[in-house]
Each structure stands twice: as structure tokens, then as C-alpha cells.
Amino acid sequence: MDEKLENKAPCLLISFVVDNGPSMDGARLSALMDAFRTFAEGEKPVRLEWELLSFDAFAPAVNKSFGSADISPVTAKRFPLLGRAVLTAADRLCARAKALRDGGEQVYRPWMFVLSDGFTVDDMAQAAQRLDAMEKGGELLYLPFKLTPKLVTERLQCLDRNKHIVEISAGQIDGFFAFVQRMIERRGALSPDVGIKFAKTDFEGWAVL
């Protein structure tokens, strides 16, 4: 193995899938974008590649791709396709992880955070099956968050049969990103082959289970 690769820290891949359908609150989306910009500019204790995907009735838009520092504003358009967005994010995470491994690099298990109000006009069954298979195969860790108490629960629940759906409390977007930062720090203290789990106490003060 190349000496440079041998000394290179493992890479953590994160995909944020953000709902920008018409049912989403504009002020909440604006706060999310501000927080993403702050997140992008902050120092990370682990080697990190991340991207932001937004979705509505068309193909999911990659607002920030792996290796890019740019974040575009999210603009609500039409009714969302949550299932398609999740599958797109999964495909991109798998492809990036494979490219890194094929290059001889170590990669932590990728993460996917879904932020939505749960409304979608497409079938979630295929996305749920894909995520379940990836988690069981150790390929992915995902966690869905709702951005409103008025959630169409059946949709996100389909993705979340074995976990709690976490509601980000009003005015607590910064709390969510602080949580993400803590998880990254925790991840960086472990070797790539060791898993990491979330606990209920991780959400205290900024979220509702």
C-alpha cells in the first residue's frame, strides 16, 4: 500500500437528505441552510466528506456534493419524492465509499440523516427495504428527523421501524448540528470497524422522541 494512504485517516461519509416540499416551513428551511453553512465552515476532528440533497417532485438536487464547499439555498417547488431522494443518497454514499476503498483507503460506515415532515407522493417500500438491507449489512447508519409535530407519520415510520423518529424542537436547529458534531467526534475516537449507537440521552434538550 502507498505510504501516503497508509498514514491517511479513515474517511467518514455523511449524506443529509432535506425535504423542500411545499408543506415545509420556509423559516425552518432558511434556518437549516444557515446552519449548514456554519457546519461546512467549522473544523472537524475526523476526516469528513458530506453532501446535502434536497428533494421535491423532481429528481433530488445535490446542493452540496462530496468535495464541494458550496451550499445552495433550498427552494420549495412541488410535492416531494422522499423515497427517490433516499435511494439517490444511498446510491451516492455507496459509490463514494466504493471509490475510496478501491483506492486503498479506509472508510467508516457511512451515515444518512433524513430531515422531513414525512409527506411524500411516492412509494416508500423500496427505500425502506434498501435502507434495512444496508444497515443489516453494515453498509450504512441512518436516522430520520421530523421538522414539525404535524408529521405524516406513515411515511417516515416506514423508514424507521426499529428506531424512534426524532422531532427537532422549534428553534433547535443548532441543537441538531451540535448533536451531529458530537457524533462525529465520537466516531473519530473509534476504529473504522467498530460501530456507534445513538442513545436517548443524546437528544435531550433539543429534540422530542
| Number of other CB atoms surrounding residue 165 within 10 Å | 19
Q: What's the confidence (pLDDT) of residue 21?
A: 82
Sign of torsion over alpha carbons 72, 50, 21, 55: positive
* Cell numbers linked to 128: 425502506
Q: In what order do the strands lie in the sheet with 12-19?
A: 61-64, 48-55, 12-19, 111-116, 141-146, 166-168, 207-208
Query: What amino acid is encoded at 3 in this protein?
Result: E
Phi and psi at residue 206, to the nearest 5°: -135, -5
Q: Domain 3-208 sits in which CATH superfamily?
A: von Willebrand factor, type A domain (3.40.50.410)
Dihedral angle computed from the Cα positions of residues 93, 97, 102 and 103, in that order, rounded to the nearest 10 degrees = 120
Instruction: Determine the 3-state secondary structure of 121 from DSSP.
Output: coil
* Cell numbers linked to 116: 422531513
Distance CA 142, CA 163 (A): 10
- Map out the domains of the chain as residue ranges: 3-208
Q: What are residue 1's DSSP bridge partners?
A: none
In order of 32, 106, 185, 192, 207, the CA distances from 172 in angstroms are 10, 34, 20, 30, 8
Q: What's the confidence (pLDDT) of residue 4?
A: 55
Q: What is the pLDDT along the chain (209 residues), one digit of tens a residue?
A: 455 555 689 999 999 999 888 778 888 888 899 999 999 988 888 999 999 998 886 667 888 888 787 888 787 767 778 888 999 999 999 999 999 999 999 999 999 999 988 778 888 888 888 998 998 898 999 888 988 777 555 667 667 655 667 889 989 999 999 999 999 999 999 999 888 888 889 999 999 88
CA angle, 125 then 127 then 30, to 5°:
120
Does residue 155 come out as left (phi exceeding 0), alpha (psi in the -120 to 50 range) or beta?
alpha
Nearest Cα to 198, choosing from 111, 69, 84, 127? 111
* Cell numbers linked to 105: 483507503
Distance CA 145, CA 192 (A): 25
| Number of other CB atoms surrounding residue 107 within 10 Å | 19
